[in-house]
Amino acid sequence: MKVLLINPPQTFYPSSEPPAGNLPLGLMYIAAVLNKAGYKSEILDAFMADYSFQRNEEKINVGMPFERIKQEISRRKPDIVGIAGPFTCQIRNSVKISDLVKQLDPSILTVIGGPHVTTVPKEFLEEARNVEIAVTGEGEYAMLDIAEYFEGKKKLNEILGIAYRKDGKVIVNSNRPFIKNLDELPYPAYDLVDMEQYLNPKKIGYRSFRKRAVSMITSRGCPYNCCFCSVHLHMGREFRANSASYVLNHIQYVV
């Protein structure tokens, strides 16, 4: 069984911040957990890999053209496609990929997670007819449970932190408890992406940044309530951090 995790292209408007690309760390953590459990996973970063700037009236689409994404999905032949669903203004691109998947093969299981679907899972699935499962909250162990469901080892009603359809109705399961000990997670699957795309100082949005640098996640959750930020809605209000030794070892591993 193969799981393909896709970071979708992004759309930018006249008032948008300039495009800025970095590692798809959420997908990389999910892939690492899947691989540790013995599943085969791949990552397609359709925002950074072979990206192009496509102007559509006032909008600019940045990333792989959708026809090229469709070809990649066809070539890789996944059983499950997990799609990153970032902020609400970008969710249409995620849904578009689910449409492409079902055009290719209706038997492929389509899953989307991220901030948008976490906050409005029922409304999202009522509109996105080609998405079968929405993951709410942290996705690592939910996606592992979904892989086991695909193999017939679990039932959907047993999986915490997901929403799905049953008999035409959207079912929203109970929330999955947040991971207390972040040190239990393996390092992100750096081996599944072309690191040079992210370390190159000429990458999207970093043309004036002269050093080879990437972002890392060392904590999750936030107790505050900033009006522009949804992190407490999908990562919880409790601040959780990796241990100092984990962070130092992680930095050394990346170096």
CA angle 125–71–164, rounded 5-degree value? 15
Who wins on pLDDT, 112 or 205?
A: 112
Q: What pLDDT was estimated at residue 55? A: 83
Query: What residues does each domain of the chain span?
Result: 1-255
pLDDT tens for residues 24-33? 999 999 999 9
Percent of the residues in the chain that have a pLDDT greater than 90, as a whole number: 75
Kindly provide the b/e burial profile for residues 200-225, where b requires at least 16 CB atoms within 10 angstroms of the residue's own CB.
eeebbebeeeeeeeeeebeebbbeee
CATH architecture of 1-255: 3-Layer(aba) Sandwich (3.40)
Q: Which two tokens stand for residue 209?
A: 């940044």
